[in-house]
Amino acid sequence: MRSKAILTCAVTGNLTTPEQTPHLPITPEQIARSAIEAAQAGAAIVHLHVRDPATGRPSMALELYREVMERIRDSGTDVLINLTTGPGGRFVPSREDPRIAAPETTLLPPEKRVEHILALRPDIATLDLNTMWSGSAVVINAPWSIARMAEAIYAAGAIPELEVFDSGDIQLAKQLIKDGVLKDPCLFQICMGIRYGFAADPETLFYARSILPPGSHWAAFGIGRTEFPQLAQALLLGGHVRVGLEDNIYLSKGRLATSNAELVEHAVRIMRDLYVEPMTAAEARAELALVGRP
């Protein structure tokens, strides 16, 4: 176990809806304020998506990302900013002809998915390695698309956070490292409890950690009611951790979390009960300084 670990807060996400919880931040001002409060509660990294302020639906608008980042930076907090590149990877096959995309399809060229990374140069950018069924859509991340996105992330001076959902994603990462697309050591985020991916149980997380490339930095998180049990399990295995309204909207059974900060505060209590101190943003920067720099 670590004596200190990085705690990330995933502030709003892509799939959680305002209908599920009235506490989900939607506007740039709300997202930024929620991120700042999470940092004040103990998060060293905030993982950010943006939403259309009028509809609450996911957005990739550069001006929304820019406003959120400027609000966070202007607040004086030194929290590390992790921007998503996940939107733009979902294909919904038409029921009449599965070769044809249904209107819900969001597939974009890889260059479109990283425009905001190149423009805003965050500390970290997610890089999804999964191709899998998710809800009513197929998430598609072709190796050639991943390679082009990785190139842009490195060009922006950001650290790619490799989001892995099953064992094949880790095998793909190893091949991309071998091919020189990804720079070892890498930062992995192990996503637990998503249907058809890694099951949220101790044996599966132990297995996922065991097949990471040697020397990797890694974190893990669980979805829904597995969020806090997986946080504890990741700590016991020596990993970093993540919570947030993107992953889970409940503080306890039947009780909605009123904010990201409340989830972070609960995570910090669990960490300290296990004698693990949450890293400051400065400590997290030092911890990740060698990622992607062999």
Over residues 218-273, the pLDDT tens digits come to: 999 999 999 999 999 999 999 999 999 999 999 999 999 999 999 999 999 999 99
Percent of the chain residues topping a pLDDT of 70: 99
- Please state the rounded mean pLDDT for residues 96-116: 95
Confidence check: pLDDT of 294 > 60: no
Q: Which of 145, 206, 204 is nearest to 172 (CA)?
A: 145
159 exposed, middle or buried (CB, 10 Å; 0-12, 13-18, 19+)? buried
CB 132 within 8 A of CB 196: yes
The amino acid sitting at 241 is: V
| Range from 130-139, 207-216, 254-263 carrying the lowest mean pLDDT | 130-139
Question: Residue 13's pLDDT is what?
Answer: 95
Q: What is the pLDDT of residue 223?
A: 97
Confidence category of residue 291, pLDDT binned at 50, 70, 90: confident
Task: For residue 56, count CB atoms less than 10 angstroms from its CB and return exposed for 0-12, middle for 13-18, buried for 19 or more.
Answer: middle
- The whole-angstrom separation of Cα 225 and Cα 35 is 22
Confidence of residue 159 (pLDDT cuts 50, 70, 90): very high
How does pLDDT run across 50-90, given as a tens digit for each residue?
Answer: 999 999 999 999 999 999 999 999 999 999 999 999 999 99
Nearest residue to 246 via CA among 54, 51, 94: 51
- Separate counts of helices (H) and strands (E) for the chain: 10, 17
Q: Is the pLDDT of residue 107 over 90?
A: yes
Per-residue pLDDT for 292 more than 80? no
pLDDT, position 275: 98
> pLDDT digits over 167-192, tens only?
999 999 999 999 999 999 999 999 99
- pLDDT bin (cut points 50, 70, 90) of residue 135 is confident
Report the mean per-residue pLDDT for the chain: 96
List, in sequence order, every beta strand (DSSP E) within the chain: 4-5, 7-10, 45-48, 50-51, 58-59, 80-83, 90-91, 124-128, 132-134, 137-139, 159-164, 187-192, 217-222, 240-243, 250-252, 255-256, 277-278
List residues bridging with 105 in a β-sheet. Answer: none
